[in-house]
Amino acid sequence: MAIILGLESSCDETAAAIVRSDRTILSHALAGQEDHHRAFGGVVPEIAARAHVELMTPLVEAALADAGLKLDDVDAIAATAGPGLIGGVMVGLVTAKALAMASGKPLIAVNHLEGHALSPRLIDPDLAFPYLLLLVSGGHCQLLRVNNVGDYTRLATTIDDAVGEAFDKTAKILELGFPGGPAVERAAALGNARNVPLPRPLKGADEPHFSFAGLKSAVLRAHETGQYKIEDIAASFQQAVIDCLYDRITYTLDRIDPPAALVVAGGVAANLPIRDMLETLAGNRGMRFVAPPLWLCTDNGVMIAWAGAERFAMGLTDGLDFVARPRWPLDPEAAPARGAGVKA
């Protein structure tokens, strides 16, 4: 049984966790940086990188202490090596390299998106490959067929904003605070989703992709009229996102041989109305629905340690010369999607 230490530092969460290959989480240390970034209304990359430097070593020490382990007891050290804010990614990756070198244990360079993508398999041992994954985070909105560890087929992506980005920008427009996603969800629960007319970008389009930039602009225009309650705008926005996701996933499902399970991962997967919609959609299609628990949806070290465990089991380790990557698509073969802001 392998014991893997996993480090995460690609955005504004610093985290270290230890996971065993039998799916036991031995420890889980995480420090959010909201207080560092709140005054700026968003994550400031340079501030994030400096905070990771301060937080990472104490978190590694805490993860080892909580698990009752020494570095020597660990079989491999995994770290997010991209994609993400490059200064932060380098902090976690360099820390992992130093630990690997000091202990003589192998390094595993983990794609952050693969951390999200495989995290449902940590919780659900019956979740077999292939599965259909909706990956929705601050930087991505993609529909992927997860064929195996390290083997993904991108079926759809956003042509402009990521869905989490749309939540964050909506929160900023509505002055709901930071971080934006949970704030919009809370406000939406108090509003009426039918009160504000908002568009459903690309709904019914004869292409599989997503788009959210127009929705965010429509939120701004609706807010500027001064006619609508904040809660109603939030609820109407969230409903528009749900309708778009439903329409786009259905488009793809109508055109593929659907795998047995629909899986959601990434920070936006913490949104309960979105999860409810996906569960209904999966049920209608005779598919199983799998979602990680809420704490495992947003960035954390456990998902990186688990992806490390999956890769370690396949003999996939990396050299200490592995270079941090600001961009790193899960499916490098995917054709570029139209749109200026496409990230992968």
11 binds ligand KG4, rule: CB under 6 A: yes
Q: Kindly state whether residue 138 participates in binding ligand KG4, applying the rule CB under 6 A.
A: yes
Residues in the chain: 344
Q: Is 266 in the site for ligand KG4 (CB under 6 A)?
A: yes
Binding interface with Zn ion (CB under 5 A): 137, 299
164 binds, among Zn ion, ligand KG4, none (CB under 5 to 8 A by kind): ligand KG4
- Going 129 to 132 to 138 to 139, the CA torsion angle's sign is positive
- The 183-212 contact track toward ligand KG4, x by CB under 6 A, reads --x---------------------------
Query: Using CB under 6 A, which of 161, 168, 310, 318 touches ligand KG4?
Result: 168
Nearer to ligand KG4, 3 or 268 (CB): 268
* Least distance between ligand KG4 and beta carbon 104 (Å): 31
> Quick one: which of 33, 119, 137, 157 contacts ligand KG4 (CB under 6 A)?
137
Tell me which of ligand KG4, Zn ion, none is bound by residue 344, counting a contact when its beta carbon lies within the kind-specific cut-off of 5 to 8 angstroms: none
Closer to ligand KG4 by Cβ: residue 63 or 264: 264
Interface with ligand KG4 (CB under 6 A), residue from 120, 181, 191, 201 = 181
Q: 296 to 325, contacts with ligand KG4 by CB under 6 A?
A: 298-299
- Stretch of 34-42, 131-139, 245-253, 301-309 lying at the interface with ligand KG4 (CB under 6 A): 131-139
Q: Where do contacts with ligand KG4 occur on this chain (CB under 6 A)?
A: 11, 137-139, 164, 167-168, 179-182, 185, 266-268, 270-271, 298-299
